[in-house]
A and B are shown apart, each in its own frame.
Chain A
Amino acid sequence: MRGADYIIKRTAFAIATVFVAITINFFLFRVLPGSAVTDLSRVPHASPQLKIALAKEFGLDKSKWEQYLLYLKNLTHGNMGISFATQQPVWSELAQDLRNTIPMVALGTFLSIVIGMATGILSAWRRGSASDQISTNVAIAFYSFPTQWLAMMMLIIFAGVLPSAGMTNPFIFGTPTFLQHMKDVGVHMILPSLTLALTLYGEYTLIVRSSMLETLGEDYVLTARAKGLPQRTIVRKHALRNAMLPTVTLIALSLGYIVAGAILIEVVFSWPGIGRAVYEAVIQRDYPMLQGAFLILTLSVVFFNFVADLLYFRLDPRITE
C-alpha cells in the first residue's frame, strides 16, 4: 500500500502544480508592461475607435478577475481562446507549431541521449585514458558553446550542401507524395536536430560519467569483479542500472521540454516551431497564445516528471521505504 500512497501523493501534487501554473501563467504576462491593444491598434490609417474595439474584442475591457474566471471557464471546456495577433483559434495555431517542433526537437534530444550515454559510459569505463580525456573535453566544449553560435557555424559549414532554413523545400508547386515530403522534411531536419544534439549531449556525457564512476567504485562492483564476471556484465547489470537515477531525471526533464521547442535553433534555422511562436507571442503580448503555450508546456513537464517519479519507484525500491 505504500506504493499506492506514493502514486496518489505524486498525482495530487501534479494536479496542484498544474493549477498553480495555470494561474501564474494568467497573471504573469499581464504584469509585463505594454499591451497587445496598443501594438495592434497602431496601423497608420486606423480610426481612434480601433483601440476600443480591440480591447472589447479581446475581453481586456473586463476586470482581471473576470478575465481570469472566464479563462478558467473556457479551459474547462477545452477552449484556449483566439490569438490576438492572428485571430485564429489558439489551439489550431499551437497544434501546427507543435507538429513542426516535436519531430525536430525529439530527434535532437534522442540523439543527444544516445550519444551522451554512450560517451559517458565509455569515459567512465576507460577512466583516465586518452579516450576519456578527449571525450570529456569535447563534451564540455560542445556544452559550453552558445547554441546560436554553434547553429550559425553549422549553417556556414553546410551552406549549399544542406538547406539553411525552413522544414520543407518551400518552392514546390503542386502536392508532393508522402515519401517525397518525408524525405524533404528529413533533409531539412538534419542541421537543426544535429545542432540540438550537439549542444545537449555533453550534459549527458558528464552526468552519466560521474554517476557511473560513483557506482563503479562501490563494494558490490568490486564483489562482482571478484566473482570474475565479465566487464560488460558488470557495467551493464551492476554499474549502469544504479547509475541511471540522475540520468532518468535529466531525460524526463528533457522530454518534458520538447514541446517548448528550441527557440534559438528555431530562429537560426527559420524552423516554424513553437519556440518561435512563443517568442513572437511575448513580443506581441498575445496573452491567449502565451497562456496556451505555457499550459501545454506545464502539462508536458509535469507529466514527464510524474513518469520519472514512477520510474524511480520502479528503479529504486528504497523510495517507498
Chain B
Amino acid sequence: MRRAGRVAAVALAAGLVAAACGGSSGSQAGGAGGEGAVKEGGILRLGTMTGIDSLNPFVTFQQDSYSTFEYIYPFLVQYNTKTLQYAPDFATKWETSADGLTWTFHTVPNAKWSDGQPLTAADVAWTFNTIIKFGNGPTANFSQDFTHIDSIATPDANTVVLTYKTPVAVVLSNLQQVPILPQHVWEKYATGNGKELKLTPNTPQNGQPLVSGGPFVLTKYQTHAITLFERNPNFYGTKPHIEGFGLEFFTNDDAAVTALKSGQLDAVESIPVTSVATLKAAGLNVFIGPGLEFHDFIINSNPKKTTNPELQNPQVRQAFEYAIDRASIVKTAWLGYAQPGTTIVPPGTGAWHDSSIEGLPFDLAKANQLLDQAGFPKGSDGIRVANGHPMSYTVIFPHDETGAGDRAFQIIQNDFQQIGVKITQRNMDDSAAFAAITAPGETGYTSFDLAMWDWVPLEDPDFILSVMQCNQYGAWSDSGYCDPTYDQMYEQQASTVNVAARRRIVYQMQEQLFNDRPYIVINYQDITDAWDQHHWAGFVESNQGLFNPLSKESLTQLHQV
C-alpha cells in the first residue's frame, strides 16, 4: 500500500488481487500464455524495480519480499487468480462451523521442507502462535491477521483448528498473507522477548539455501542486487517446469527496459507506461490488465479543521470533481493505460467494487455554477473569494506520485484555473508528505488542505476500507476523515461472514465515501508487465502482476517454448 510508507509498506499486502480477469474492462493484449509446447527446464531472468529490502518476514515491507515468500514458504490458502476465489495451498480443504467461530484446515500429508524435515500442521500452529505471542513487539506486522482468535489446535499432524471469539469475515484473506515458517529453523529465535525473530537476516548462509517449503528454494541473496531461486524437489504441490529463476533489482526502469530489449532479461514487472509502445515495437509481449492501484485527490476531511472551511462544503467538493477531467488524465498522463476512477474499492477486486457508482462527468460549466451557488464569486484576478480569502490552495505532492502524477496535476491545475480555483504543487518526499498531512503533531490533520497520492489495496476490501476510520489518525489516514457511522459499518462488515450480506455493507461504505469525498478517485492504474514470448509462456497474470504474493500459479506454470 503505498502512501507514505505505503510506498512499500503496503505494497506488501497490497498484494492481493488477482486479475487478469478481474471483472473490469479495459484489459487487452497480452496473452497470459499457456500457448506453445511445454519445454522443461530453463532459468527465468526477471527484472524488478521494487526489490527486496529484507528476507525476514517480520522486518520487510516490500512487495517483492512477499511475492518471494509465496514461492518459498507454504501458505494455508492462496488465490485462484482467475476467479478471485480462495484455492488450496498447504491446506487441501477447510470447513467452518455453523456459528462461524471454528475453522478447520486439512493440510497436505507427508510433506517435507527442502532440508528433508517433516512439514506438518505443527509448523502452522507454531508460526501462528509465535506471531500472537510476540504480537506487541517483534511480530506486530502480522498480528492483526489474528484478531479475535481464541486458540489454535492441532488434533493431528495434518489438521489445524482455529477458534475465534467472534465471527471474523476475513479469516481466509488474512491467512493468505501469512507465510508458514519452519519451526525447526525459527524456534531458537522465539525465546525471551522474541527480539531475535527480527534480527535474523534469514538469508542463505555458508552456501546453504534457505530452508524452504514452497516450489522453489532461495539459494542466493545480495541486498539491492539479486535473488536466486532453484526448484524445490521436496515441494508438496505441482512442481514448476523451470529449473529456477532470478530476480534482478533495477533502480532505473529505463535500464530494465533496455536490458529486456537487448536480451539480458526475459521479463520485467511493472514497466513504465512510456515504454509500452517501444517494447511492443521490439517484438516483446506486453500484458496490460486491470490493477488494484488507484490515484486520488485528497481533500482534508477532518471535522475539526477550522481553516478554509469552504473545502468542507459538499458543493465545493462536487465542483472539484466536475472539474477533474479523468478521461484526459488517463489519455495524457497514463497514455491510456489506466481506467477512470470512482470508488476506493477498485474494479480489480471483482464483485467487491460497487460498479453502480458513477463518477461525476467532466463539466466545467457545472463546476462554476456550483461554486457560484455556494456564494464564492470570482475576484478581479479570476480567482474566487471564499470566506474573505482567495480560493488558492497548496496540494501536498509526495515523491511517489511523480511522473504520470505530475502530468495529472498539471491537467487538474489548468482546469481548476478555469473554475477560479488556484492550486500549487508542493513536492515532498513521502515521509515528509505524510508528516505534513498529519500536522500538527502526528494526529492533528488540521494544517493541510489538499493532497494527491495513491493506494494499492488488497484483494479483500477490508484493508482499504479500514484506512478511513477515525482510529487510523497517525497510522494510515491521509485524509483526516472521521465518521462514527462509517466506523460502525466497518466493524459490521468485518464480522459479517455471509459474503452477500457483507457485500451490501461494503457497497454502502463505498457510497458514503464517494458522496463525502475525502478522496476524489482519479484513476485505476493498469498492470503493465512485459516478457519475451518467443521463449516463454505460461505466466499467470494477476492484478499484482506476474510475480505476486497471491498464488504460486504464475511461476509454477511458466515454461519455455
Q: Looking at chain B, what size class is its interface with the partner chain?
A: 35 or more
Interface presence of A266 (CB below 8 A): yes
Q: Is the CB of B255 within 8 A of A45?
A: no
With a CB–CB cut-off of 8 A, which chain B residues contact A173?
43, 219-220, 228, 230, 244
Contact residues in A for B226 (Cβ distance below 8 Å): 166, 168, 170-171
Judge whether A238 is part of the interface by a CB distance below 8 angstroms.
no
- Which residues on B sit within 8 Å (CB–CB) of A164? 255, 258-259, 262, 264
Q: In the assembly, what is the distance between CA of A10 and CA of B209, in Å?
A: 51
Contact assessment for B431 and A284 in the assembled complex, using a CB-CB cutoff below 8 Å? yes
Q: A159-B258, A166-B248, A270-B255 are in contact. Are A43 and B9 (CB under 8 A)?
A: yes
A19-49 interface (Cβ within 8 A of B): 32-35, 38-49
| A43–B228 touching, CB < 8 Å | no
Q: Does A71 interact with chain B (Cβ within 8 Å)?
A: no
User: With A33-B435, A53-B138, A266-B251 in contact, is A42–B476 under 8 Å at CB?
Assistant: yes
Q: Is A293 an interface residue (CB 8 A)?
A: no
- Comparing B140-148, B182-190, B552-560, the segment that makes contact with chain A is B140-148
**Closest Cβ neighbor of B458 among chain A residues:** A44
User: Per-residue 0/1 for A114-128: is the Cβ within 8 Å of any B Cβ (1 yes, 0 no)?
Assistant: 000000000000000
A45-B144 in contact (CB<8A): yes
A209 within 8 A of B: no
Which residues does chain B contribute within 8 Å of A272, judged by CB atoms? Answer: 222-225, 249
Minimal Cβ-Cβ distance residue in B for A32: B432
Contact: B222 with A47, CB < 8 Å? Answer: no
Q: Which of B204-240 contact A (CB under 8 A)?
A: 207, 219-220, 222-226, 228, 230
Instruction: Tell me, in angstroms, the Cα distance from A112 to B530 when the chains sit together.
Output: 38
Partner of A44, one of B14, B230, B431, B471: B14
Closest CB in chain A relative to B253 CB, distance in Å: 10
**Which of chain A's residues has its CB closest to B222's CB?**
A272
Q: Which residue of A lies closest to B45 (CB)?
A: A171
Contact with B along A152-177 (1 / 0, CB 8 A): 10011001100111111011010100
Q: Check if B248 sits within 8 Å of A170, measured CB to CB.
A: yes
User: Which of A35, A166, A270 lies in contact with B435, CB distance below 8 A?
Assistant: A35
Expressed in whole angstroms, the Cα–Cα distance for A284 and B429 within the complex equals 10
Question: Size band of the A side of the interface?
Answer: 35 or more
B13 touching A44 by the CB < 8 A rule?
yes
- Which residues of chain A are within 8 angstroms of B195 by Cβ–Cβ distance? 57
Q: A residues within 8 A CB of B246?
A: 170-171
Q: Is A50 an interface residue (CB 8 A)?
A: yes
A-chain residues with CB within 8 Å of residue B262 when the two chains form the complex: 159-160, 164
A266 to B255 Cα, complex, angstroms: 12
Complex CA gap A267/B249 in Å reads 11
A268 & B252 in contact (Cβ 8 Å cutoff): yes
Contact at B435–A49, with CB atoms within 8 Å? no
**A165 close to B248 (CB less than 8 A):** yes
Are B56 and A42 in contact (CB-based, < 8 A)? no
Query: How near does chain B come to A240, taking the closest CB pair, in angstroms?
Result: 40
B53 touches A86 (CB 8 A): yes
Least CB separation from B464: chain A residue: A44
**1/0 contact trace for A71-114 toward B, CB 8 Å?**
00000000000100111100001001000000000000000000
Please state if B141 and A163 are interface contacts (CB–CB under 8 Å).
no
Also in contact, A166 and B135, with CB within 8 A (given A39-B9, A42-B10, A270-B250): no
The reply to whether B264 and A163 contact each other, CB–CB distance below 8 Å, is yes
Cβ A283 vs Cβ B251 within 8 A:
no
- Alpha-carbon separation in the docked complex, A35 to B434 (Å): 9
Q: CB-CB contacts of B375-406 with A at 8 A, as 1s and 0s?
A: 00000000000000000000000010000000
Whole-angstrom CA separation of A170 from B138 in the bound complex = 32
Q: Are B248 and A171 in contact (CB under 8 A)?
A: yes
Are A152 and B254 in contact, CB atoms less than 8 angstroms apart?
Answer: yes
Whether the Cβ atoms of A87 and B199 lie closer than 8 Å is: yes
Q: Does B167 contact A (CB under 8 A)?
A: no
Known: A38-B431, A53-B140, A171-B228. A267 touches B251 (CB 8 A): yes
CB of B256 closer than 8 Å to a CB of A: yes
List residues of chain B with CB within 8 A of the CB of A171: 43, 45, 226, 228, 246, 248
Task: Tell me which residues across on chain A come within 8 A of B145, comparing CB atoms.
Answer: 45
- Quick one: which of B106-135 are within 8 Å of A by CB? 135
Q: Shortest beta-carbon distance, B338 to chain A, in Å?
A: 23
A44–B10 Cα distance when bound, in Å, is 6
Please tell me if A287 contacts chain B, counting CB pairs below 8 Å. Answer: no
Q: Determine whether the beta carbon of B5 is less than 8 Å from that of A39.
A: yes
Query: Is the C-beta of B164 less than 8 angstroms from some C-beta in chain A?
Result: no
Report chain B residues within 8 Å CB of A159.
258, 261-262
C-beta contact mask, A263-279 vs B, less than 8 Å → 1, else 0?
A: 00011111010001100
Complex interface: chain B residues within 8 A of A85 (CB): 53-54
* Interface: B418 (CB within 8 A): no
Question: Per-residue 0/1 for A194-219: is the Cβ within 8 Å of any B Cβ (1 yes, 0 no)?
Answer: 00000000000000000000000000
Query: Do A160 and B263 have beta carbons less than 8 Å apart?
Result: yes
Bound Cα distance A270, B253 (Å): 10
Q: Does B160 contact A (CB under 8 A)?
A: no
CB proximity of A159 to chain B, nearest CB, Å: 5
Alpha-carbon gap, A46 to B9, bound state (A): 11
Question: Known: A86-B53, A170-B246. Is A44-B225 also a contact (CB below 8 A)?
Answer: no
* A51 / chain B contacts, CB cutoff of 8 Å: 474-475
Instruction: Kindly list chain A residues whose C-beta atoms are within 8 Å of the C-beta of B325.
Output: none
B136 at the A interface (CB under 8 A): yes
With a CB–CB cut-off of 8 A, which chain A residues contact B53? 85-86
The 5 closest A-B pairs by CB, nearest first: A34-B431, A160-B262, A50-B140, A170-B226, A39-B5
With A40-B5, A270-B225, A283-B399 given, can you name 11 additional A-B contacts, CB distance below 8 Å? A45-B13, A45-B142, A47-B144, A49-B137, A50-B141, A96-B223, A165-B248, A170-B226, A266-B251, A270-B252, A283-B431
Could you write out 8 A-B pairs with CB less than 8 Å apart?
A38-B442, A44-B14, A44-B458, A51-B474, A152-B254, A159-B261, A170-B226, A170-B246
